[in-house]
Structure 1
Amino acid sequence: MQLNERQTTTLRLEKNLKERVKYLAGDKRSSSHALMLEAINQYVEREEKQSDYRKNALSAWHEYQETGEHITAEETLNWLDTWGTSNEKSAPTCHK
């Protein structure tokens, strides 16, 4: 498939939802099609980010279980409190 190649997909919407989409599209001076594309794109982007976040969290958890290395919440908050100040500190180092 070439980059940006478009394919047609059919959606069956309940009458009420279809009317709501049509109303919002009119309010935004857009088409229902454009509104649905925007909504689907935003949803997919959000879900991809959440999926990546979950994967990274699980990876960090497994690494912690294997190594025991960590930074406490207190250490992190103390470090963050210095951000943007003249006494900004380097990130704390992991320890057991």
Structure 2
Amino acid sequence: MKLDEDTRRRLQALGEKRDRSPHWLMKRAVMEFLEREEALEQEQQEDLARWERFCLTGEALPQASVAEWLDGFGQAATPFSRR
């Protein structure tokens, strides 16, 4: 796939502003895309595994337990909290 002229022009302009080549910008964009998409894929696989485990065992956390656990966040004193 080839880039259209407008995209090439934009890459060139941004590269000049950032003191980077268009190739560097494209490589970085592809790497960020891959990292984001691979993380999403991993999360989806983990969700599927959790769902399959639930279907097999029926084990789940009650909503009240999760709510109580979440309510505990921010309750502990930190060096920056006011007492």
TM-score (norm 2): 0.80
How many residues align structurally?
77
Higher relative contact order structure (alpha carbons within 8 Å, sequence separation ≥ 6): 1
Unaligned runs of 5+ in 2: 77-83
CA distance in 2: counterparts of 1:51 and 1:65, whole angstroms: 21
Distance 1:32 1:80, change over 3 A: same
Alignment of 1:1-96 (within 5 A): 12-86=2-76
Structure 1 segments (4+ residues) deviating >4 Å: none
CA distance in 2: counterparts of 1:29 and 1:77, whole angstroms: 50
TM-score (norm 1): 0.70
Unaligned runs of 5+ in 1: 1-10, 87-96
Which has more helix, going by share of residues?
A: 2
Aligned partner of 2:79 in structure 1 is: none
CA RMSD of aligned residues (A): 1.8
